[in-house]
């Protein structure tokens, strides 16, 4: 195996982790003073490694080593530097600092490789006024220029900045992203590495039941048209159907994290009840079947008196990762002797945007108890180092 500098990586990683940290968790939102400080820290580490460093017009940061073969395309690695509110220190940062260590270790051992190698720290991967994965969508041209005016005011950016951040896609041959799993699968199966085969769809529908707002004390129970009742009954029916299906084939997840009553008052019979159903699957066919079943349930005759509506609010297709990159990561994992499995990614990542334009792969390491987007997010030093080792071996295989 190619030797990486364990101590250097851990010092660099935990140095960044201090920036934006408090008892509440990590707060390093994009376009904030904490984010600028974190990016400056990363810039210094790239410069210390002898990389050619640049910050683009929207705030992504790149560190690069040139290659010896001018016909070879750049191998890009990276992840994001921003955090969710009160988040953890591992999400995103592992892929950036791990990327720096992987490329630096390769450069120290071999000098310039055949292909150029580059690491990127993306801005605004987490949800923001620009939407999620903004940094990677902007460089690939997937971020529309007609962004909300408040987003431009918040960030200080212009349309020209978005245009000028775009990379020359044809210059890049692959993208790799090292990331924590953000789920419990690897830990529960006692596996060291996960190799995602794809990133699941995200489909969201808003369902609304319309009743009649009225006084909660004086309206007889027999005369109430409480919108919450059909909404909650519908959810119960969905849970029962979906859970039964999952027993037969575990190939999707669902969630209802939003339930809104209008008005939301203990003294008022709600005249309107709305909830958002989120569906995720690696299969378009499964997603279509779930959506069809949801429509069927909403439009059932017993709910007709409540004039139900169903509105699609998000529809992101699943993204397949590149089989050649997956196979190369697999080769690297076997070289390291780690236990692994192929698996879907249940969360979205910057790899989604990159996969539309270049061969893309991801490497997962364990998340303790499956906790993420939480100050309690934790991955052991040993598991992080295993991920960095696999990333290093994979880049070596691709670059040579």
What is the DSSP track for 93-157?
Answer: HHHHHHHHHHHHHHHHHHSS-SS-EEEEEES--SS-TT-TTHHHHHHTT-S-S---HHHHHHHT-
Pairing of strands 202-210, 52-55: unpaired
Q: Residues 90-149: pLDDT tens digits?
A: 999 999 999 999 999 999 999 999 999 999 999 999 999 999 999 999 999 999 999 999
Q: What is the 3-state secondary structure (H, E, C) of 164-213?
A: HCCCCHHHEEEEEEEEECCCCHHHHCCCCEEEEEEECCEEEEEEEEECCC
pTM (two decimals): 0.92
Higher pLDDT, 251 or 189: 189
Confidence of residue 8 (pLDDT cuts 50, 70, 90): very high
Confidence of residue 64 (pLDDT cuts 50, 70, 90): very high
Q: What is the pLDDT of residue 248?
A: 86
Q: How many angstroms separate the Cα of 187 from the Cα of each of 135, 230, 252, 278, 333?
A: 30, 39, 20, 25, 17
- Locus of tokens 């992203």: 177
CA distance 389 to 99: 10
- Residue 386, number of CB atoms within 10 A of its CB: 21
Q: What is the pLDDT of residue 343?
A: 97
Nearest to 97 by CA among 139, 46, 58: 46
CA distance 121 to 28: 13
> What average pLDDT score do residues 333-353 get?
97
Task: Describe the crossing of helices 33-48 and 6-17 by its angle, rounded to 10 degrees.
Answer: 160
Share of the chain above pLDDT 70, in %: 100
Question: Which secondary-structure segment (H or E) carries 63?
Answer: strand 61-65
Mean per-residue pLDDT of the chain: 98
In three-state secondary structure terms, 49 is coil
Is residue 203 within 8 A of residue 294, CB to CB? The reply is no
Q: Residues 239-286: pLDDT tens digits?
A: 999 999 998 888 899 999 999 999 999 999 999 999 999 999 999 999
Q: At residue 400, does pLDDT exceed 90?
A: no
Q: At residue 236, does pLDDT exceed 90?
A: yes
DSSP 8-state class, residue 87: B
> What average pLDDT score do residues 199-214 get?
98
Q: At residue 323, does pLDDT exceed 90?
A: yes
CA distance 367 to 180: 6
CA distance 117 to 113: 8
Q: Report cis status (omega within 30 of 0) of the bond before 263.
A: yes
Q: At residue 291, does pLDDT exceed 90?
A: yes
Nearest to 81 by CA among 31, 147, 118, 22: 31
Q: What is the pLDDT of residue 250?
A: 81
> What average pLDDT score do residues 223-241 get?
98
> What average pLDDT score do residues 296-305 get?
98
Is residue 208 within 8 A of residue 260, CB to CB? The reply is no
Q: Residues 13-48: pLDDT tens digits?
A: 999 999 999 999 999 999 999 999 999 999 999 999
What domains appear along the chain, each with residue ranges and CATH number? 6-200+319-399 (3.40.630.10), 202-316 (3.30.70.360)
């Amino acid at each position: 195996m190619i030797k990486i500098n364990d101590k250097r990586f851990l010092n660099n990683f935990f140095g960044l982790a201090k920036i934006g940290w408090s008892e509440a968790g990590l707060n390093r939102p994009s376009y904030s003073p904490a984010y600028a400080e974190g990016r400056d820290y990363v810039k210094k580490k790239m410069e210390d490694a002898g990389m050619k460093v640049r910050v683009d017009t929207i705030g992504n940061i790149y560190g690069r080593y040139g290659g010896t073969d001018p016909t070879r395309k750049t191998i890009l690695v990276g992840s994001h530097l921003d955090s969710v509110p009160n988040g953890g220190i591992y999400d995103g940062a592992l892929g950036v600092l791990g990327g720096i260590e992987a490329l630096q270790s390769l450069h120290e051992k071999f000098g310039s490789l055949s292909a150029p190698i580059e690491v990127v720290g993306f801005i605004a991967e987490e949800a923001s006024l620009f939407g999620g994965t903004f940094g990677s969508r902007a460089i690939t041209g997937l971020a529309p220029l007609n962004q909300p005016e408040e987003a431009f005011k918040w960030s200080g950016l212009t349309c020209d900045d978005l245009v000028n951040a775009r990379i020359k896609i044809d210059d890049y041959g692959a993208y790799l992203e090292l990331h924590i799993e953000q789920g419990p699968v690897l830990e529960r199966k006692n596996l060291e590495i996960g190799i995602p085969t794809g990133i699941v769809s995200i489909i969201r529908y808003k369902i609304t039941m319309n009743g009649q707002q009225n006084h909660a004390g004086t309206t007889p129970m027999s005369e109430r048209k409480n919108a919450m009742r059909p909404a909650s009954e519908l959810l119960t029916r969905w849970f029962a159907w979906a859970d039964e299906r999952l027993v037969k084939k575990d190939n999707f997840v669902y969630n209802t994290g939003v339930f809104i009553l209008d008005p939301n008052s203990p003294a008022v019979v709600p005249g309107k009840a709305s909830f958002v159903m989120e569906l995720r699957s690696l299969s378009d066919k499964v997603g279509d079947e779930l959506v069809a079943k949801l429509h069927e349930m909403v439009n059932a005759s017993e709910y007709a008196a409540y004039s139900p509506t169903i509105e699609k609010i998000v529809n992101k297709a699943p993204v397949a990762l590149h089989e050649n990159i997956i196979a190369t990561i697999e080769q690297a994992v076997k070289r390291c002797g780690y236990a692994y499995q192929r698996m879907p990614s249940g969360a979205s990542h910057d790899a989604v945007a990159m996969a539309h334009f270049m061969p893309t792969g991801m490497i997962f390491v364990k998340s303790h108890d499956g906790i993420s987007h939480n100050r309690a997010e934790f991955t052991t030093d040993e598991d992080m180092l295993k991920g960095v080792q696999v990333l290093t071996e994979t880049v070596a295989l691709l670059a040579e």
